[in-house]
């Protein structure tokens, strides 16, 4: 239904979309001096040089035209080889579509597979875009609470209880934003079995797959449920390429063909020279060396922040095995998540994200990102400790 905003009439569906609470907090912080942000959801590293060089070369070689909608064959093949080499999985190139980041891959999955009245099970807390994508697709989000005592993993029995005749899809995102949790193999298998038994799609959003610590392993969902899974992945986090807008989806060929139909009219194709740089990212050793260096740096920062948090009163941290976030429990402060985030910004000039930005079940938690320099992390930890000790 149309509605009037200022002097313009706009489509009702736009009114359904909620602006991210993360952005509101950032806007307030940007008006203040001397603020340290631990709210960041992107790598602070530069894109590895070999990838930049590949993009520059591609421009000079004339990669400035449209490409096939699904992406250049060289990149679809490189994705296919990547899954073979890293995970021993067969992913034919026809099962790959190159997208403008994992955001577009996710959006395409929702729009292609869901319609009015379909139900989609979305964990709570979860990354912000899934609920909004569901609303735009006119599907009904059904939240599956994730609990700290279960390591923020879905409980397969609770999942089963939420399934109705209208359930079409379940969203899974591991390594997880905002909790940093990694999915246990038994849970992955259980979810795959449920999806197959009830004929449900799994949207598995896996952009943090390379940021793993303490020996944790990542299992791509296509290993267990290849015919039910739409896997969204991205170059954004792995290769510190957030601004390049490069990602992909993997799904059964028929679904990919339908996703291409929509993608063809909204994106057309991802920038051609960016796709060529994507081939270099996946195929060249230099980029994988850079990924390992970033992972090591994140691992050190993670340890550093966890150690500092242990010394603070009223706050306890769930020990994450992946991504670059720490989901910390602040219930002992007596404050609600949003109140805490505002208090910390005013009192210590440190930005953290209230857990409720990711769903009602994030109440009592804050998300701390360690995708920032050690110096800034140290300063932020000192400020937080002082503020909490004075509470």
Q: Which of 47, 80, 112, 177 binds ligand PLP (CB under 6 A)?
A: 177
Q: Decide: is 20 part of the binding site for ligand PLP (CB under 6 A).
A: no
- Residue in 63, 82, 83, 103 binding ligand PLP, rule: CB under 6 A: 103
> Is 173 near ligand PLP (CB under 6 A)?
yes
Residue 213 interacts with ligand PLP (CB under 6 A): yes or no: no
367: which strand partners? 327, 353
Nearer to ligand PLP, 150 or 242 (CB): 242
Among 107, 110, 127, 298, binds ligand PLP (CB under 6 A): 127
Work out which of 43, 48, 141, 207 binds ligand PLP, going by CB under 6 A.
207
- Residue from 43, 48, 101, 278 touching ligand PLP (CB under 6 A): that is 101
Q: Interaction with ligand PLP in 29-48: which residues (CB under 6 A)?
A: 41
For residues 348 and 386, what is the distance between their CA atoms, to the nearest angstrom?
Answer: 8
For residue 250, give the 3-state DSSP assignment: strand
Cβ at position 101, least distance to ligand PLP in Å: 2
d(CA 86, CA 386): 45
Name the minimum Å distance from CB 244 to ligand PLP: 9
How many angstroms separate the CA atoms of 54 and 271, rounded? 14
Which of 76-84, 101-109, 110-118, 311-319 is the region at the interface with ligand PLP (rule: CB under 6 A)? 101-109
Q: Are 337 and 366 spatial neighbours (Cβ–Cβ below 8 Å)?
A: yes
**Would you say 89 and 206 are in contact if contact means Cβ atoms under 8 Å apart?**
no
Per-residue binder mask for ligand PLP (CB under 6 A), 234-263, x = binder: x-x-----x----x----------------
In the chain, DSSP assigns E strands to: 3-5, 8-10, 36-37, 96-99, 119-124, 140-145, 167-172, 201-205, 229-234, 247-250, 316-317, 325-329, 350-351, 353-354, 365-369
Go through the chain and tell me how many residues it has.
Answer: 391
**37 strand-pairing partners:** 351
Which residues are near ligand PLP by CB under 6 A? 41, 101-103, 127, 173, 177, 205, 207, 234, 236, 242, 247
């Amino acid at each position: 239904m149309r509605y009037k905003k200022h002097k313009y009439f706009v489509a009702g569906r736009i009114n359904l979309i909620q602006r991210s609470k993360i952005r509101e907090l950032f806007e307030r912080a940007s008006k203040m001096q001397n603020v340290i942000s631990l709210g960041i959801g992107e790598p602070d590293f530069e894109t590895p040089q070999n990838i930049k060089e590949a993009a520059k070369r591609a421009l000079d070689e004339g990669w400035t035209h449209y490409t096939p909608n699904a992406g250049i064959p060289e990149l679809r093949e490189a994705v296919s080889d990547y899954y073979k080499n890293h995970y021993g999985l067969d992913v034919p190139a026809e099962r790959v579509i190159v997208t403008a980041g994992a955001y577009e891959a996710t959006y395409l999955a929702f729009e292609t597979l869901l319609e009015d009245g379909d139900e989609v099970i979305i964990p709570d807390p979860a990354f912000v875009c899934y609920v909004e994508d569901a609303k735009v697709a006119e599907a009904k989000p059904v939240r599956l609470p994730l609990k700290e005592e279960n390591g923020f993993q879905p409980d397969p029995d609770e999942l089963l209880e939420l399934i109705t005749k209208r359930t079409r899809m379940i969203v899974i995102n591991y390594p997880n934003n905002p909790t940093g949790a990694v999915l246990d193999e038994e849970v992955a298998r259980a979810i795959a079995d449920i999806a197959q038994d009830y004929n449900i799609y799994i949207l598995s959003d896996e952009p943090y797959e390379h940021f793993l610590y303490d020996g944790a392993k990542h299992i791509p969902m296509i290993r267990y449920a290849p015919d039910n899974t739409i896997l969204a992945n991205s170059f954004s986090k792995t290769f510190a390429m957030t601004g390049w807008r490069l990602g992909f989806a993997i799904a059964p060929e028929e679904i990919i063909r339908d996703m291409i139909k929509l993608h063809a009219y909204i994106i057309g194709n991802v920038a051609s020279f960016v796709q060529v740089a994507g081939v270099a990212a996946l195929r060249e050793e230099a980029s994988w060396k850079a990924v390992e260096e970033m992972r090591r740096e994140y691992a050190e920062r993670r340890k550093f922040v966890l150690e500092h948090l242990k010394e603070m009163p009223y706050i306890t941290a769930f020990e994450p095995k992946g991504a670059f976030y720490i989901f910390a429990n602040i219930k002992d402060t007596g404050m609600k998540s949003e109140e805490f985030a505002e208090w910390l910004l005013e009192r210590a000039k440190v930005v953290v994200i209230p857990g409720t930005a990711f769903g009602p079940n994030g109440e009592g938690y804050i998300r701390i990102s360690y995708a920032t320099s050690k110096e800034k992390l140290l300063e932020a930890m000192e400020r937080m400790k002082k503020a909490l000790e004075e509470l």
